[in-house]
Amino acid sequence: MTLVLKGVSKVVGSQTHIYPTDLELEKGTMNVLLGPTLSGKTSLMRLMAGLDVPSTGKVFWDGKDVTGQRVQDRKVAMVYQQFINYPSMSVFDNIASPLLLMGKSRSEIDAAVRDTAELMQLTPMLDRKPLELSGGQQQRCALARALVKNAGLVLLDEPLANLDYKLREELRTEIPKIFERSGSVFVYATTEPEEALLLGGNTATLWQGRITQFGRTPDVYRRPVNATTARVFSDPPMNFLTVSKDGPEMSFSGGQSVPTPEGLLGQPNGTYTAGFRPNHLELNPNVGGAMAFKTTLRVTEITGSETFVHLDHQGQRWVGLVHGVQSLTPGQPLEVFLNPAHVYIFGQDGNLVSAAPYSEAA
């Protein structure tokens, strides 16, 4: 089973929600749609499900054109951020409801419901009503209802956004296991880079109605093709600064000069944008010719084992994530260090010119 989008777009009035998009999702894969609110995740999912008809392009399921087909006639399950259950029915009947509609036998239904309930840790609650459950349990009930019918395409739209942090953490490790067993095409929308990384599989980064990159999740994370992808796939945000390339030398604004990285050598001299992730910023000069930057400390946040340092570098905001608990005074100058191996170089158009050398080795 494969889901293929060919030139699919969605225009509503004068607004383009989705620009023409090509995407191919294989059976048995977890596919994350990662992007901020209003980047087009839900619009794209509605097009995949058949809830909306695309303005242009076609949707194929297993090679068959299903573009105009109603959602009821497709094997699709969808779960939303705001979970929906039938309040007057027991948890068992809620989970069983899609199977009843499909006309399954009683014994089949019973086995499937109990199996799914076990997976979602709902077995002790099967006889209760949804409103007697905690928020997390209610959401798991809705998830179970989506999973039980074994749909070929399962669309999860920020399904964990309303859950407690710890429950989210547990379900995030559960969901890939569930999907592995199902063999369906899973599509999972989230605003959180960390969630994409924890889910693994493939990730499509979205920005203003366009897919900016699609590939294996760790590859998209480590080898973003442009600054937009890098920005979408970085939390805390990626830090940026201007560099200028002059032959074999590249100099950083407010920092030293370093040898021009290989990917940039063949490019014309001029200014480029360098980007690096917060966890690669160091407070101690690294071995191996780390670059030093003079910044001003705005605020620190301590997580218990690590410290976020919020910095001002020549009017630009930077964030660093450093090991240990650092007691630093806000408002003070702070020298920070960066290894050139962790620096990505983007061109004026935002496209990647030179990947961070460390990511090539990974």
Residues forming the site for other proteins (CB under 8 A): 36-37, 134-136, 164-167, 169, 191-194, 197-198, 200, 218, 221, 235-237, 277, 279, 298-299, 301-305, 308, 310, 319, 321, 325, 330, 358, 362
Residue 328 token pair: 């630093």
Q: What three-state secondary structure class fits 76?
A: strand
Judged by beta carbon, residue 57 or residue 236, the one nearer other proteins is 236
Residue type, 44: L
User: What's the gap between Cα 340 and its chain centre?
Assistant: 26
Vertex 161 angle, CA 155 and 166, to 5°: 115
- Nearest-angstrom CA–CA distance, 272 and 258: 14
| DSSP string for residues in 315-347 | TEEEEEEEES-----TTSEEEEEE-GGG-EEE-
Closest listed residue to residue 145, CA positions, set 185, 101, 201:
101
To which residue do tokens 């983007």 refer? 346
Q: Closest distance between other proteins and the C-beta of residue 134, in Å?
A: 6
Judged by beta carbon, residue 40 or residue 347, the one nearer other proteins is 40
Q: Closest distance between other proteins and the C-beta of residue 223, in Å?
A: 13
Q: What three-state secondary structure class fits 350?
A: coil
Judged by beta carbon, residue 64 or residue 166, the one nearer other proteins is 166
Judged by beta carbon, residue 108 or residue 180, the one nearer other proteins is 180
Q: Closest distance between other proteins and the C-beta of residue 162, in Å?
A: 8
What's the residue count for the chain?
362
> Where is 178: in which H helix or E strand?
helix 165-182
Tell whether omega for the bond before 236 is within 30 degrees of 0, i.e. cis: yes
- Nearest-angstrom CA–CA distance, 36 and 193: 10
Q: Closest distance between other proteins and the C-beta of residue 314, in Å?
A: 18
Q: Closest distance between other proteins and the C-beta of residue 310, in Å?
A: 5
Q: Closest distance between other proteins and the C-beta of residue 115, in Å?
A: 22
- Nearest-angstrom CA–CA distance, 269 and 258: 14
Judged by beta carbon, residue 93 or residue 219, the one nearer other proteins is 219
Q: Closest distance between other proteins and the C-beta of residue 229, in Å?
A: 14
Judged by beta carbon, residue 37 or residue 105, the one nearer other proteins is 37
Q: Closest distance between other proteins and the C-beta of residue 182, in Å?
A: 19
Judged by beta carbon, residue 95 or residue 309, the one nearer other proteins is 309
Judged by beta carbon, residue 35 or residue 152, the one nearer other proteins is 35
Residue 266 token pair: 């063949």
Are 262 and 354 within 8 A, CB to CB?
yes
